[in-house]
Amino acid sequence: MNHVLIVDDEAVIRSSLKRLLERHGYQVSLAGSVEEALAGAPLDTYSLIISDLRLPGAAGISLISKAQETPVLIMTSFASIRSAVDAVRAGAADYIAKPFDHDDMLLTIDRILRERLLRRQNAALQMTVAASQPDSGIIGNCEAMQQLHRRIARVAPLNTTVLIHGESGTGKELVARALHEQSPRRQAPLISVNCAAIPESLIESELFGHEKGAFTGAQQLRKGLVEAADGGSLFLDEIGELPLDAQARLLRLLQEKEVRRLGATQSRTIDVRLIAATHRNLKQMASMGQFREDLFFRLNVVELNLPPLRERGDDILDIAHALLKRTIGRLGSTSLHFSSAAVTAMSLYHWPGNIRELENAIERAVILCEGPEISPELLAIDFPRQAVTLVTETLSAQEPPAGLSLEDYFQHFVLEHQDQMSETELAQKLGISRKTLWERRQRLGIPRKRGSEPI
């Protein structure tokens, strides 16, 4: 039931309006002034506030700023355009002149409450959509990425420390951003720190801050990046490069939720969620004394693994098209598309630099391209040209069905030629190693011909 607060200094108006609203199913509370209204229940507990403009003491319009999300309908006996404009400018949901018609009042109230309900439903829908898509900015539908999406959705709302593991260039910061944006901390900052990019002599000062005079060159007090992330999330990329001294201070932050600036005598309480990332094996580093074992166990509460680009199948082409569109928009280039040979090359290439390498290759191609089509040469992929040509020509000659996926390209070529070629020859024609050929056979379920030599 909608609960309405009526604020008016005339008892007759209050009682008559109360009877009208109660007959139509509203719960009604009364107040004779702004002060009396504020002394009662919190204003945000009401569905609507109906207030006279002129009241003893504070004006009714002053309720608007105090009502927060609760709409305020202003009444006045001095109907004028000026007073209506003033009320609306102050944020009133609407304005109605006394004496008002009962039907007009009921229609106005109904419209305001429906608009309020619609705003709430839209906000709830946006939160639901955001919660179901915690990987904003992350493109990928392969099995490994679907599992990653599910884990992000499950972990993001929690305050748990997360360790993201993946090769360089796989998009670990995007995962950290998705975790932050789908968490209750999303309104607070996400502070990203690349531990490998800060000199070892400065990293403690950068992370934890310092007092004036704490060391030579410390001319003034400086807040550290950990404090800057207070209330939000701190993303430490390449945490395996963090010096042991800084690791000890980070461990204290995780255990005690406290941080102490260099040169300070007192610690400060900090509320921050830590998200770390690395491409190194921290467990192995801990066994070799290169990383604190106790910190490793504190970090490795939930581990998210990002697959390398070469293991993501058709995701490669989806990412490439998204990057091409973004690069064209950023550089202001004309419309471009990938040639079939470029598509095949991107599918079969190993991508040691992962998404970062793909992004750089596409940017280079967009800058240098003189026609509407991007070729493998423009992508500067270190890949045997004859393999690309062979696969493309073979498939074109046999007119594969529309919408043939990149994995289908590989499967089609292997099944078509494995009776005439050895595993070594197949791998050479495709421009990949025999080990990679075997791994793709296993993943795609392509049987080897009988009697073919072992790997």
* 195 shares a domain with 319: no
Greater confidence (107 vs 390) lies with 107
With respect to residue 132, please indicate whether it lies within any of the assigned structural domains.
no
pLDDT value at 1 more than 90: no
CATH of the domain at 8: 3.40.50.2300
Among 289, 307, 325, identify where a domain stops. 307
With respect to residue 454, please indicate whether it lies within any of the assigned structural domains.
no
* 326 shares a domain with 418: yes
* 148 shares a domain with 204: yes
With respect to residue 272, please indicate whether it lies within any of the assigned structural domains.
yes
Q: pLDDT tens digits, residue range 327-372?
A: 999 998 888 999 888 888 888 888 989 999 999 999 999 999 988 9
Q: Whole domain around residue 45: which residue ranges?
A: 3-127
With respect to residue 452, please indicate whether it lies within any of the assigned structural domains.
no
Q: Are strands 302-305 and 162-165 parallel, antiparallel or unpaired?
A: parallel
Q: pLDDT tens digits, residue range 122-180?
A: 766 655 555 555 445 788 888 889 899 889 989 999 999 999 999 999 999 999 999 99
* 279 shares a domain with 377: no
- Please give the Cα distance from 303 to 447 (Å, whole number): 34
- Please give the Cα distance from 333 to 347 (Å, whole number): 25
Residue 137 CA to its chain's centroid (Å): 7
With respect to residue 133, please indicate whether it lies within any of the assigned structural domains.
no
437 Cβ contact list (under 8 Å, min separation 6): 414, 423, 426, 427, 430
CB 407 within 8 A of CB 313: yes
- Please give the Cα distance from 240 to 195 (Å, whole number): 8
Among 282, 307, 332, identify where a domain stops. 307
The structural domain count of the chain equals: 3
Among 272, 290, 307, identify where a domain stops. 307
Q: How far is CA 397 from CA 337, 389, 391, 408, in A?
A: 21, 12, 10, 15
